[in-house]
Amino acid sequence: MRRRTVTAGNLEDLLQVTAPAQAPEQTAAPAPAAASPRREDDDGGLRTEFEFELPRGYVDEAGTVHRYGAMRLATARDELRPQIDLRVKENPAYLSVVLLSQVITRLGTITDVHAGIVERMYATDVAFLQDFYRRVNSEGHTRAAVTCPHCEGGFEVDLSGGRLGES
């Protein structure tokens, strides 16, 4: 039996070949314009993008610090694509870098977030983003239950980086 290596380019071809056939009325209709990710609607709709504030911030080549950004919900394709990435095969720890680069939609004024940007982030920011990813994709929110070390009272905080007093 011959083993076949799949690359990112091959993945797109495989996905197109294995995609279910569309009904004739679907193929005749023009493709809708790509919509921006939906945020939480007033009627309680699905929230697909979450804003965050990095603890330290990404410093670009010009020295500008980017602390605020947005992350979208991950799809099955986002989780599968890093598995065939050669960088991940060589170093499994690189998986989180590739995965985060796919789901971060904006970082400050940067809209093209790629693995090179995530590589150059401080370790505390990457750890924050890994936890943030887990929360929004597993739990569906950015809140965490915490306990005050002084009075031992419990309350929730929003990890997305909102300032005290803001709503």
Measured CA to CA, the distance from residue 11 to residue 86 in angstroms comes to 13
Averaged pLDDT, groups of 10, the chain, 167 residues long: 49 52 44 43 70 94 95 93 90 93 95 94 96 86 74 73 45
For residue 45, the model assigns a pLDDT of: 72
Contact 40, 113 (CB under 8 A): no
pLDDT at res. 16: 57
